[in-house]
Structure 1
Amino acid sequence: MAPDGANCIKLYLLVHIRVFIFVRISLEIFIWIDIFKMTEKEESLEPSNDMINIKVLKGRNFKGPKGEYLGTVTIKAHFGEKALGDVQKLDCSFRTDIDLKYTVELNCSSADPATIDEIAYRPVVLTFAKILPREKKKKEEEKTITLGQCTIDLLPIIQGDKNFEITLEILPVSGSLWEALTPDHSKPEIDIDVSISHSLLERSELTDFNILTMTVESLVAPPECLTLPNHIYVAALCVPLTNEKENLAVFAGANLKPPCEKEHVNKQKKWVNAGNAQGGACYIPNSWITDCATDDEYGDFRSKEDRDYRKHSEQEKSRYVWNMERRCFLHPSAVKTFQNQITKQRYWPVEVFRVHMPSGTKGKKVTQEEDGALSYHGIAYVDASPLLYPGVQTIRGAYKITPFSETSLQEKTGCTVGISEEATKAAISIYTQSGQSPAQRKNKEERKDVKKNTKPGGLEVYSELELSVVNTEGQQYVEARSYIMLEMTLKQPLIPKRTLKELSECVASYIPPRPLFPKRVGGAERAVSDFHKQVECVSRMVLEQFRQLFQEELSSDQEPNPTVMEERKRKLLYTLNNTGKYFTYKERLKHAVVKIVREKYLKTSDFEDKQELQNFLSQLYIFLMDEMHAALNKFLCLDAQPPIPEPLSDSTQLKHFAIEAEMNGNISLAARYHEERISRDKNDASHWLDYSIFCLGQQDIDKAEECLRKCVAIDQEHLNGLLLFSIVSSLKKLTEVAETFLETALMIAPKSIIAWTLFGLFHDALNNEIRSEMAFLKASQLNLAKFLTKETTETDTAPPLTSPQQTVASQLSVLKRNDTSQAEMSPKQDISGLDVSETGIIKQEISEMHSDNVQEESIHEMETRVIPATEQGFANTSQYGMEISQNSEKMSTPKSKMFDKKHSRTSNTISTHSAKRKQSESFNRQHATPLLEEKEATPVDQTPVPEKSIFMITTEWLLQMKAVVYAERALSHELLLTPDQPSLQYYISMAQINILKKDFPKAEKILEEALQISYEQPDTWALLGHVKYFMGDAEGAQSCYKRTLAFVNDATDMHPVYLRLASIYLQDKMFHKARETFLMACQSSPSSVSWLGVGIACYRMGNISEAEASLCEANILNNMDPEVWAYLSLVCLRKERKFEAEQSYKYAMKLGFQDEDIIKEIVELQQHLGYGDPSFLTNHTSNCK
């Protein structure tokens, strides 16, 4: 037992030891894994520091103005306040071109956006100095004199370049030897190589980052009290660095340029913070201020009056010039933040103020009022919304300066606090770093004790009285009409613009496949075709020879027997062989056979085997015989093909017939006319477009879309087709498709007013306010430019009447309008339900245009009204209206709410115009270019006023396209732009929309309001006549139509007026007037309906000959009208032409004539005459039996 117990104990201890060892090893492994992970985590958290290596390779032309050697020269590098590397001495005692081999390194963290931003706007400054020789027997420090400087721009490193080489000129400083170099001397220059091991930004960041280049040029026309010594003038703004951090851009140190200073202004841009750079080194190499046209600017001063003021101010008033450029690095997250801020607020604030210089007097106690005090605090609100337009990278303009107000700042930008305190600190820091004396820097140290006693909130603490003083000082900017020239440029646009290639590819995806054009016949087919031609040619010659030989025998009527036929055959072959014609015929066929052998059987070499040759000849013989018989059958075919008659009406007439049928309510006939146009020419895009317009008017959007696809497939640059396709796609909620075709239309026709306006209406419906306003702005500029060039529009000329009937045509030459006495109405009579004044005189109201009285208005009078954009045509070509008062009220009703009320305008009376006017004025003030409010001003020349606004031009086009929804949107914008009340054209367009919607009571009410504006507009009376005609008021319609004809000027479309008035005359049995009115329609636009009307009127008057001529003309234009056949049957019965009468009656019944009164009249006349109905004789005979 004992040994067994000992063995168990040993086994137990062994197991426990092994378990202990296993657990210990496992713990050590886990500990090492944790340590490794923590080390990786720490390494990942540590920012990666990259070194930018700057190597100065060679130097050239290191010599004095007289060619002397410079001796020992030193070179040192600075980045801001930081010195890079050591000072290196160069021996230039015996040479002018030297190898510098000077290398410095700049440490930067790729993980810190602030460091990258600093590299973007700060240069590396290289300073070259000459060591002066020491005097013998004196031990003193080396003395140097600065020769020149140059600056290295590190922006390519941020943009992804790992290595680049540049050659820089060393620019002399004031008082140096190199300042005396003449232009003929070679300038000293150096070669520099800049490199980095890897890119500062990752691949994804390189494509998504952006750089905002902010250029502050000058402050023009500052207040007179602003110009004082011992002050620095600062402009500052905030730009997002990341999605959480902001970057402060400060422009300090503007130079005063008095008006008397007329020398050329240096347009080269300066570094915003050049460190210790002096002289020419303060300027950025190859960076210049570029002037652009005022029309291309986006500032506040762009109207004609503002341009004159700017020209005067730049020549006669002082200005503060910065000409500084600040590059702001935008991290990919900051780009989205920047875009969102512009979308929400659209205005970007730029603060301008004056700061007292840090005093430099020794021993003098510096007070807060003397050091860092801020005054003349103004602000410019830069409308940055154009940067959200696709492809826009730069905005530039003159922006007015207003007094700084936190309330105004919060309303316009959403910021609650300004940046003046931080900007003041930064400005003083920049100022003290660049050019202050040691005494001033010492004085800066003395200010520490003073600043310890100030409140931590900022540099200055104002009381209520001081705040009022600040506001008063800022108000002087407004009184002086000060403005600041700014430019903001992005490296790449916030919203990229698609290229034409991309748009074309996108459009192609929506175009249905089309059959290819037929290919030219070639190869084997061409060879067989040539063989057929030769067989036909030889057959003609053989047949001609046969007729010559047997001419006498063929003239007899005897049929030849087989023996005679065989004899003729032998004689023909003998003649052909004797004359050599047989050989000629064989040679003609030989070339055609050779072609078939080469092209169809691909035989071009000799046959090696006779059996193969025999097989080939057998196949060729069979093929040639078959093709010969096919050619002979085609040649000797006696079936005469009837000629295809030419169509009696062309495409233009068919279109007119279709519009006329649709106007008369005959939809099926109108569709048939459109289909006939397409069947005649399926490759005409305009045919498909017209059919789509017809389908759109019938609310068949799917069929309209199908037709538009065909239209665009045929002609991808068809502007109207592209625009209407985008509208149809928008109605079907296909937003991307609609936007694609709109952009394609703009690429094809960039100067189309309608295309730009539709683009704005489309984005307005999507609540994309910025893009819509940009489109409206472009359309307004094009409208104004078109008006200034006085482009004349082509007027439609009425086609001449081409009637084959001379009797009817002769009546047109002596036709006159209705008698004036019949057209005039009683002055005290109520005309068609319209109110007439108690005096019985219908007053003549002519719409007043603003341009007629603009010379007599003063600026003070203009404060109470807003110049209508519909008349001004956006006179300043920059905004919707003009804001006369600076402190105008902000629009109380959002723009979207005003648009929601756009359809309720026409149902109200004229008394509601005042409320709408307030909304319009508020809307115009929000999007306006402010002008200075002056108490006394002289009248100035106004910008020419276009005749129609962009919205009215687009509305007219949309009504032609029957796009009712978009027409209503355009009219809603037009309504917001009218000053006192909507224009007459607005009422007419709104009435047309309601007519298309078949809302006739509403259209009638709108037209009655239009008549209160002007009684002399023929279109108003014509539309009112149509409305009453559709409502069944024949008497009222007749009155309106007669008044329309009484005017000297015709309405836009007189054809429906003629037809409907003449039809009313027919109903009232006034056949003479009906005949005259129908003839007017035939003279302007002849059609089957108009000639049918003439025929009916003549028939009822008893003039059968003229009736027959008119009905024949109507039948030629449309032989499918059963009413025409019915009246032709009546005419033929009257003239006792039995066959024609029966045929006409048969076609009338076959085409479905259903007028019971006319049918009864025909049957009675047939029964009286005893013929006219093919079934009449049978029925009559059976009845007699």
Structure 2
Amino acid sequence: MELEEQKRLKAEWDALTEEEQFYRTQEDQFKSPSIKFDQNSFSQELTGQRLVIQQERVRVDKGEWIFLYKSPIPGDEEVAKLKKTKPKTLNVNDLNIIVFKAWIDYLPFQTPGQIETIQRIKFTQYMDEQSPPETPRPNVETMYLYLKINLSQPITPIRYEPQPTFQDLISLAPEPQPIPLSQQCIEELRSDLQVIIESLAMEYSNMFSKDLNKYQNEKQSNMLMTHKKQSLQQRKEHFLYDFNISGKYKILKERIKKSIVKLCRDKFSKSGSVTGISTTQSDQFYSELYVFLMEEMRQVLINMVRENKEALQEDFSHLLSKKKTIQDVGFQEIIVEKTNETRKQQLERLCQEYEILNRTEEVEKHLRDLNLINPKDQDALMKFAFFCLRCAKIDQAVTLVEQALSFDGHNQQNQLLLAGLYQKREKISEAKFILELLLDQDPNNLIYHLFYNLIIQSQDQELADFMMQKAERIWLRQLNLIKQEGMHHEDPQLFDIPWIKIPIPVPDKPEKDKAILEQREQQRIAWENAHNQPQLTEQQYDQMILQLVEFFENACLFELAEQSLSLLNDQSHNKITMLRAKIYLYKSEYAQCLDLIENMLEFNPENLEIRIEYIKVLFKSQAFEKCEKQIKFVLPNPQLREDQITYFSMYLMLGSIYINEKQFGNARAVFTKACQIKDNSSLSWMGLGISSHECEKYKEAEDALRMANLYEPTNDTVWGYIALNCLKDGKRFRDANSALKEMNKTDAGQVNLMVRLSKEFYNIEEYLTAKELLQKAINWAKIQDMLTEEINQFEIQLAETNEKLGLLQQALDIYQEILNGECGSLEEHLKEQINRLHFQTNIKY
């Protein structure tokens, strides 16, 4: 009979469709008891923090716990009575609450667009430390729940391919091109030149071997230089004559001919004959080609002489005499060897020093030079970008950040900065696009969520609130108020588990319905009270917002920082006041900035950080008297020495103030200390050199200026003072003239220095040089909008110099031009000079 029953059941099972088999198995209709509800469906709206948690469960935990409570139908008072009376028919343990839990698999919802899942979930009994020891332990081996979940919207939305990438916004820079043909032909030319020079050297050596051996002996003697030059010239003429007559030059000519043809074709873009172009064009081309070839030959020869200096038999020292100019090969290596810093390190140091003194033009120049070393150096590009931000040059900063990202489109910090710059320029859609990409890559980044909230507040308040809820949950984790992601399955926090109100059957006694429903509501309230979701306090919330504010502050996005301050509850904190001061400083509103900092110092007079910021603002606003007092106040503070850069900057600023106020003795002492703190500071050595010069300590000035020149070879002020020092100290015209030439290469408009140099050259009767300097000074004075009275004085000096050169008419024209303009108190003097010159030149006035 049993066997027949099994066969019957199997036949009945086989007759079922696949769907019927699925439902029957899931519901376990015949094998085990199932939980029955009067209503088998319910809905719950997930918003705010609950929606944030739900997304987290799908994305990270891939599931959620469901808890079922079995509680006695009587109310709490009746349960207490029953426990006291203990009726014979009642098992007291049945009055305890029993909790069951089961894990719902959310993995299907990771599929884009998925809104439904059907599962059969198994329950286990849940007990914690608070569970009574007498709690019943029913058999739950076959306790299952058939569960069907439907979502109104997918947790993982459908993404249509292809998805946009950051490269759609900022294209990657093209891969470096292979060496162009022009470079290849130049390298080939250099190789041929080296072979030719070596061949010539060998022929020359073979021809004059005896004479050269004799010359080596004469090196040790006191042979007259004139005799040496004559001997060399004779050998040279003899060699060239023999070399041409023998036809050997033709061999070398053919050797280099191919290289020159390639050079003309690939570098100068010439093909065929040049007879088809005009005489002027052909002459220009031949001139360019000649200059290029001569320079290449000179460089090859210099390198060969330098490498084989010990083996040379003739004296080629004149070839190396020019190697100390900045443009020549090997000079930078000399600088590196003497200063122990590379060109990049040198430029980074100069940028830092010049920015301390707010000399932004020099900083920008050195940053451009830094970028020229390696145009793909992202660190150099970003240094330049942040400098532009500090100077409110937003468009330039955007270009630099975009350029950096074109070389590395995956740098998230630079992407975030670009989003901020786009927001600042009101390119909202681009900023949102970048932040959405960043959120995909790092869903737990606090700054991304807060920034996105800030961007979309005016467009989509609901989405903005949702992003803030996510940010708050991230901050709760960072404060260790809730567990880290991924731990929910192993160690669930009950406040994270939603209360699901499932309709529960009640006896058909209406008088008891109300009491039962009230009991259920009390249980829900008790659940929520026992497992409250941690909330941020106002102080913790402000700490979170300050993370965003500090990011904007560090990125010099002060308008966005100011906008973020409106989210704070407490607006009175020192940190916020300091930020507001920096915003005023950024806007060049110095008075408001100083008022805020002075108020802070009134309540925090010992705060060194605030006082340092105060000094920087005073220096930038050119309030030098107050700045000097404040620097003197902080210098004895031992805490200041812990930060060597700040400590050094105080001396650099104080020395500059003394130079500006012409207190050269004080400046000399201060810059001496600055050089001790940082011995490779070109500006400190320059300050020491200038102050020593003005104190008539010319030897010390020269030593200091040469150190400044070593650490910054292109500083026109240093070169100018070297020239001035040479003229003052022994009237060394040649040295002064050489320094003046270097100054003119990087002339940046040092008007007063040029006028002083002009006077010194005038005093040693070098009137032509004096005139050239005065003309440059006057041109720069007009460009810099100097006072008319000052320019008039310069022009009078120029007229006097023209008189010394015998250019009386030019001098007269200058006097007349000044007289026709705004001459003020100079009118009488000018008329006297004009009359005098008229008399000298016999011109009727």
Letter of the 2:169 partner, please give it. Answer: Y
After TM superposition, the structure 1 = structure 2 runs for residues 415-454 of structure 1, keeping only pairs within 5 Å, are none
2: CA distance, partners of 1:223 / 1:568: 119
Q: Which amino acid aligns with 1:72?
A: E
Q: CA separation in 1, counterparts of 2:465 and 2:31?
A: 46
Is 1:267 paired with 2:267?
Answer: no
Partner of 1:777: 472
Q: Write the letter of the residue equivalent to 1:267.
A: A
SS of match in other structure, 1:151: helix
1:71 corresponds to which residue?
Answer: 4
Deviations 1:630-665 (A, max 9, x none): xxx999985434525427563344244335545545
Determine the structure 2 residue equivalent to 1:151: 26
- Corresponding residue for 2:8? 91
Q: CA deviation at 1:745?
A: 4.0
Displacement of 1:227: 8.0
Aligned to 1:1141: 736
Name the residue aligned to 1:1007: 597
Task: Return closer, same or farther for 1:1071/1:735 CA change in 2, 3 Å cut-off.
Answer: same
Which residue, out of 581, 588, 606, partners 1:991? 581
CA distance in structure 2 between the partners assigned to 1:715 and 1:496 by the alignment: 29
Q: Quick check: 1:221–1:319 contact (8 Å CA) kept in 2?
A: no
Verify: 1:493 aligned to 2:152, yes or no: no
Alignment: residue pair count: 577
Which residue pairs with 1:1021 in the alignment?
Answer: 611
Contact 1:1028–1:1034 (CA under 8 A) maintained in structure 2? yes
| TM-score for the superposition, normalised by structure 1 | 0.40
Trace 1:635-646 onto structure 2 (pairs within 5 A).
638-641=297-300, 643=329, 645-646=331-332
Inter-partner Cα distance in structure 1 for 2:191 and 2:765: 63
Cross-structure match for 1:697: 390
Q: Deviations over 1:1031-1057 (max 9, x none)?
A: 453332223223332333237845554
1:1102 aligns with 2:696: yes
Name the CA distance, whole Å, in 2 between partners of 1:687 and 1:706.
14
- For 2:173 and 2:124, how far apart are their aligned partners in 1? 50
Distance 2:170 2:707 in 1: 42
Asked whether 1:1039 is paired with 2:629, we answer: yes
1:216-250 deviations in whole A, cap 9, x for unaligned? Answer: 415699999548679xxxxxxxxxxxxxxxxxxxx
Higher helix share: 2
* Distance verdict in 2 for CA 1:744–1:105, change over 3 Å: closer
Amino acid at match of 1:493: I
Residues in 1 aligned to 2:749 and 2:104: alpha-carbon distance in whole angstroms: 87
* Cα distance between partner residues in 2 of 1:291 and 1:1138: 102
Q: Is the 8 A contact 1:215 1:323 kept in 2?
A: no
Distance 1:1086-1:559 versus aligned 2 partners, 3 A rule: closer
Q: Which of 1051, 1059, 1065 is the equivalent residue of 2:658? A: 1065
Alignment partner for residue 685 of structure 2, among 1072, 1091, 1101? 1091
Once the two structures are superposed, residues 361-404 of structure 1 have per-residue CA deviations (whole angstroms, 9 ceiling, x without a partner) of xxxxxxxxxxxxxxxxxxxxxxxxxxxxxxxxxxxxxxxxxxxx
Q: 1:748 to 1:1130 in 2, by over 3 A?
A: farther
- Aligned to 2:405, which of 697, 712, 715? 712
The correspondence of residues 951-966 of structure 1 with structure 2, limited to 5 A, is 951-966=545-560
Bigger Cα Rg: 1
Matched, 1:287 2:121: yes
What is the deviation of 1:1152? 5.3
Q: In the aligned structure 1, how far is the partner of 2:611 from the partner of 2:157?
A: 49
Match of 1:683 in 2: 376
Please state whether the residue corresponding to 1:517 is helix, strand or coil. coil
Question: Is the CA contact 2:659–2:691 (under 8 Å) kept in the aligned structure 1?
Answer: yes
Q: How far apart are the structure 1 equivalents of 2:754 and 2:196?
A: 61
Q: Which residue of 1 aligns with 2:320?
A: none
Partner of 2:769: 1174
Counterpart contact for 1:959–1:967, Cα < 8 Å: yes
Q: Evaluate the alpha carbon distance shift between residue 706 and residue 220 of structure 1 in structure 2; reply closer, same or farther with a 3 A threshold.
A: farther
- 2:347 alignment partner in structure 1: 654
Question: Which of the two has greater strand per residue?
Answer: 1
User: Greater relative contact order: 1 or 2 (C-alpha under 8 angstroms, separation 6 or more)?
Assistant: 2
| CA displacement 1:753-788 (0-9 Å, x = unmatched) | 5555434443456544334314533652575479x9
Answer yes or no: is the 8 Å Cα contact 1:717–1:748 preserved in 2: no
Which of 358, 362, 366 is equivalent to 1:673?
A: 366
What runs of 5+ residues in structure 1 fail to find an aligned partner? Answer: 1-67, 74-89, 108-122, 127-149, 153-167, 175-209, 231-254, 271-283, 293-309, 336-491, 571-632, 790-875, 880-928, 935-941
Letter in 2 for 1:217: F
Aligned to 1:588: none
Q: Is the 8 A contact 1:1096 1:1107 kept in 2?
A: yes
- Aligned ranges for residues 471-486 of structure 1 at < 5 Å? none
Q: What is the CA distance between 1:683 and its match in structure 2?
A: 0.9
Shift in CA distance, 256/1029, structure 1 to aligned 2, threshold 3 Å: farther
State the Cα distance separating 1:558 from its structure 2 match. Answer: 6.6
| Percent of matched pairs sharing the same residue | 15
Structure 1 residues 563 and 662, CA gap change in structure 2 (3 angstroms): closer
1:1096-1122 deviations in Å (ceiling 9; x for gaps): 222233332332232223334445544
User: 1:998 offset after TM fit, Å?
Assistant: 1.2
Which of the numbers 1064, 1078, 1089 marks the counterpart of 2:671? 1078
Equivalent-residue separation in structure 1 for 2:207 and 2:343 (angstroms): 51
Are positions 1:329 and 2:204 aligned together? no
Using the alignment, how far apart are the partners of 2:15 and 2:410 within structure 1? 61
Supply the distance in 2 between the matched residues of 1:568 and 1:1011 (Cα, whole angstroms): 83
Whole-angstrom CA distance in 1 between matches of 2:605 and 2:700: 39
Partners of 2:683 and 2:708 within 8 A in 1: yes
Is the Cα contact below 8 Å between 2:682 and 2:708 reproduced in 1? yes
The separation in 2 between residues aligned to 1:952 and 1:106, in whole angstroms, is: 57
What is the CA distance between 1:328 and its match in structure 2? 4.7
Instruction: Give, in whole Å, the separation in 1 of the partners of 2:466 and 2:348.
Output: 38
Residues 220/542 of structure 1: CA separation in 2 closer, same or farther (3 Å cut): farther
Distance 1:659 1:1102 in 2: 30
**Could you tell me how far 1:1138 is from its partner in structure 2?**
1.6
Q: Does the 8 Å contact 1:220/1:318 carry over to 2?
A: no
In 1, the alpha carbon distance for the partners of 2:625 and 2:17 equals 99
Structure 1 stretch displaced more, 1060-1069 or 1172-1181: 1172-1181
Shift of 1:667: 3.6
Name the SS for the 2:588 alignment partner. Answer: coil
Q: Distance in 2 between matches of 1:1070 and 1:1001?
A: 27
Identify unmatched segments of 5+ residues in structure 2.
35-57, 81-91, 106-117, 213-234, 252-291, 301-327, 336-341, 485-492, 497-526, 772-800, 809-839, 841-845
Contact 1:756/1:778 (CA < 8 Å) preserved in 2? no
When residues 952 and 1072 of structure 1 are mapped into structure 2, their CA distance, relative to the original with a 3 A threshold, is: farther
| SS of residue paired to 2:26 | strand
Letter in 2 for 1:1174: T
Pairwise mapping of residues 522-921 of structure 1 onto structure 2 (< 5 A)?
Answer: 557=238, 565=246, 638-641=297-300, 643=329, 645-646=331-332, 650-658=343-351, 660-662=353-355, 664-746=357-439, 754-764=447-457, 766=459, 767=461, 768-774=463-469, 776-777=471-472, 780=475, 783-784=478-479
Question: What corresponds to 2:44 in structure 1?
Answer: none
Aligned equivalents of 1:318, 1:637: Cα separation in 2: 97
Q: Distance in 2 between matches of 1:257 and 1:1073?
A: 94
What is the SS of the residue equivalent to 1:673? helix
CA contact (8 A) 2:69 2:97 kept: no
Letter of the 2:15 counterpart: Y
Residue 565 (structure 2) aligns with: 971
Distance 2:248 2:156 in 1: 97
Deviation, 1:689, is 1.9
Whole-angstrom CA distance in 2 between matches of 1:290 and 1:1071: 88
How big is the shift at 1:708? Answer: 1.4
The separation in 1 between residues aligned to 2:415 and 2:465, in whole angstroms, is 23
